[in-house]
Amino acid sequence: MIIKPEISGVVARTAHPLGCEQAILQQIEYVKNARPINKGPKRVLIIGASSGYGLAARIALTFGGADADTIGVSFEKGPSDKGIGSAGFYNNLYFKKHAEQAGRIAINIQADAFSPAAKEEVIEAVETYFEGEVDLIIYSVASGFRPDYATGERWYSAIKPIGETVEGAYISLEDDKWLQSIIEPASDAEIEATLKVMGGEDWEAWVDALINSESIAENCQTVAFSYIGPELTHALYLDGTLGRAKVDLHQTSHSLNLKMANFNGGAYAAVCKALVTKASVFIPGITPYIMALYQVMKQQGTHENCIEQMQRLFTTKLYDVAKVPVDGERLVRMDDLELNQDTQAKVSQLVNAMNATNFTELGDYRGLKQEFLQLNGFGFASIDYNADVNIDQLLRELEQLDD
């Protein structure tokens, strides 16, 4: 079949397997040539491993100097009569192919991270492949909902401001349109549900499950990713439902840090840079900011993607350091370049001048769209997008590699 990009609003409906492999190869190439991770972890569990920050962390730790073996948990769709499958599905397979070719263990577990069953399956895999212990647990789940396994109900996250109405713009990546919108404040139930989905509770449940099964190695660390952003986006993010959930995640990092101290380890929330991922394009009102940020940071030579952020996190913050550097709230700050004063002054000017007619000129819309396409395996010069792709054959080949 010939696979072309199909986008509905901000959701990719197709993914190109060969392009997904290309994206992984590019990230591998980057970390192989970057400053290596010294004294890194050898047995890593990544929850939310198939795209964005989680995938980049997995690539950095496997190929960027630590030579880690990994277990990756994700929730992705394989091919079916409904579609070709999600980019994350192919990312998992291609990551595994290249990790195994490099002599590393790479176990993919497709499961709902929120479920008790996923935790049990991972504990078994840790027993089988990691001699029963993990050295690092990364929590990188971004989800729109979480099933409540006690009642059979679901919590849905609602990305909204709290207490005030905020005006913002969505950019439809489907037809490159700027859609001005009014975002109504969240109800108390929506605030609570978003906290359930994106707060720290499930991260804590994972660490507790691993502690209870005696799967935590000496010096084990755990890290989850957060976002704070500049004043400009606070009404939409930090002071809104997602920000509330992130504050909960920060608090969880403190209670987990006490538990990890029993193993001479630690728990951290790492505040990362705003980047285009499957999850972030969903956040109302954030895309104009990301476009402006890309424009300015690329001009200033400070732009980083997920892979640069993760390699820098492991080389300069988490490993081979006397003490993990944290701010006054015990957060690891990876958003230092984003929040640089001069950068923010320029970003703010651009955002304020941006509107439906000029956003493609003022902001880096082209860069943003290109990245979005590449997240789904499109937009790589080296791939012939008019060539037929035989998915069945491709999966057979990848599965054979699996054996």
Site residues, ligand NAI (CB under 6 A)? 48-54, 73-76, 88, 112-114, 140-143, 225-227, 272, 274-275, 277-280
Q: Cite the DSSP H helix spans in 130-200.
A: 188-198
- Measured between alpha carbons, how far is 26 from 305 in angstroms, rounded to an integer? 12
Kindly tell me which of 26 and 143 has the beta carbon lying closer to ligand NAI. Answer: 143
CB of 393 to ligand NAI, least distance (A): 25
Kindly tell me which of 5 and 229 has the beta carbon lying closer to ligand NAI. Answer: 229
Q: Treating both helix axes as pointing N-terminal to C-terminal, what angle do 241-261 and 201-212 enclose, rounded to 10 degrees?
A: 20
CB of 387 to ligand NAI, least distance (A): 27
**CA-CA distances (angstroms) from residue 151 to 112, 154, 205, 325?**
16, 9, 17, 41
**CA-CA distances (angstroms) from residue 306 to 111, 156, 345?**
23, 26, 23
Kindly tell me which of 219 and 254 has the beta carbon lying closer to ligand NAI. Answer: 254
Kindly tell me which of 166 and 279 has the beta carbon lying closer to ligand NAI. Answer: 279
- Measured between alpha carbons, how far is 37 from 186 in angstroms, rounded to an integer? 42
- The token pair at 212 is 């209870």
- The token pair at 197 is 């989905």
- Measured between alpha carbons, how far is 378 from 369 in angstroms, rounded to an integer? 10
CB of 221 to ligand NAI, least distance (A): 17
Residue in the shown chain whose Cβ atom is closest to ligand NAI: 52
Kindly tell me which of 66 and 274 has the beta carbon lying closer to ligand NAI. Answer: 274
CB of 229 to ligand NAI, least distance (A): 8
User: CA angle 26-126-96, nearest 5°?
Assistant: 25
- Measured between alpha carbons, how far is 68 from 83 in angstroms, rounded to an integer? 33
Kindly tell me which of 134 and 142 has the beta carbon lying closer to ligand NAI. Answer: 142
CB of 316 to ligand NAI, least distance (A): 17
Residue 365: other Cβ atoms inside 10 A: 22
Region of 16 on the Ramachandran plot (φ > 0 left; ψ -120 to 50 alpha; else beta): beta
Active-site residue flag, 237: yes
CB of 384 to ligand NAI, least distance (A): 26
End-to-end CA distance of the chain: 26
Out of 30, 53, 94, 237, the active site residue is 237
DSSP code, position 262: T
Residues 6+ apart with CB under 8 A from 323: none
CA atoms within 13 A on the CB side of 282: 14
Q: What amino acid positions are annotated as catalytic residues? A: 237
